[in-house]
Amino acid sequence: MSKGLYYKTKEEIELLRESSLLVGKTLAEVAKVIKPGVTTLSLDKLAYEFINDNKAIPAFLNYSGFPNSLCISVNSQVVHGIPGKYELKDGDIVSVDCGVIKNQFVGDSAYTFAIGEVKPEILNLLKVTKESLYKAIEVAIVGKRLGDIGDAVQAHAEMNGFSVVRELVGHGIGMNLHEAPEVPNYGKKGSGLKLQEGLVIAIEPMINFGKKAIKQHNDGWTITTADDLPSAHFEHTIAIGKEKADILSSFDYIEHVLNNKR
């Protein structure tokens, strides 16, 4: 089962933490300016400059040909939205996914922002998606299995009436953005790869307000819900731990900014 897996040393995990925290700080810069009227491309430029100023490289830029530093996915866009001229509107929700490479190691994290006055039922989608991420992290410990992570996300999302995207998954992460293993957001308790110390993964629930089906657009990147209902996305990079997972990325910088904006 361990074919192709790359377990990290304590020193490597600290380098991954440094990269992952820079992602959180980059998303906090986005949080400072994200509001109605702002274009998604302007957020991308801000992130590009901030990452470069911190002597790091945007991990997504030119990754398999992706043209930008951030994936910005609005409303029914699930993931991999390409920044452009779209101006954010009151009531939008926006997943901003960011990756950086620093000291050769990659950090990856995503946060879904509510723009202005968002409908309560959509805010609940954001809340449940974020909760499902933390429920998954609770079981990301030595001796548990990948299926326990997927089950934790799926159970919480479906209990609240939402659906889990199947075709897109979390992933191992290290010196490469995507490493083994794949980390689905659905699954069966007690199934799949046994979790061991040194395994670093990105857990990223993608939860739909409506049905689970998705479609890919002609740009080759943007994924939307098939029913055009909203989707939310939160992601942390974590290291498997004995007693509890070590969350290497952070939402604290982002939420500090958002709380001060209220």
Residue 149, SS3 per DSSP: helix
3 is a domain residue? no
pTM of the entire predicted model: 0.98
pLDDT digits (tens, 9 = 90+) for 153-167: 999 999 999 999 999
Domain assignment present for 117: yes
**5 lies in some domain:** no
Residue 204 falls within a domain, yes or no? yes
Name every residue whose Cβ is closer than 8 Å to that of residue 193 and which is 6 or more positions away in sequence. 1, 2, 5, 145, 146, 181
**Paired tokens of 247:** 């969350």
Q: What is the mean pLDDT of each run of 10 residues along the chain (262 residues)?
A: 81 98 98 98 98 98 98 98 98 98 98 98 98 98 98 98 98 98 98 98 98 97 98 98 98 98 83
Please report the pLDDT score of residue 4 as a whole number. Answer: 84
CATH code assigned at 162: 3.90.230.10
Residue range(s) defining the domain that contains residue 43 = 10-261
Number of domains in the chain: 1
Structure tokens at 197: 């110390």
Give the amino acid at 44: D
Q: Is residue 25 domain-resident?
A: yes
Q: What is the pLDDT of residue 1?
A: 37
What's the token pair of residue 154?
A: 């799926």
Asked, for residue 239, whether it belongs to a domain, the answer is yes
Give a yes or no: residue 4 inside a domain: no
Whether residue 124 lies inside any domain: the answer is yes
Look at residues 81, 73, 78, 95 and name the one whose alpha carbon lies nearest to residue 226: 78
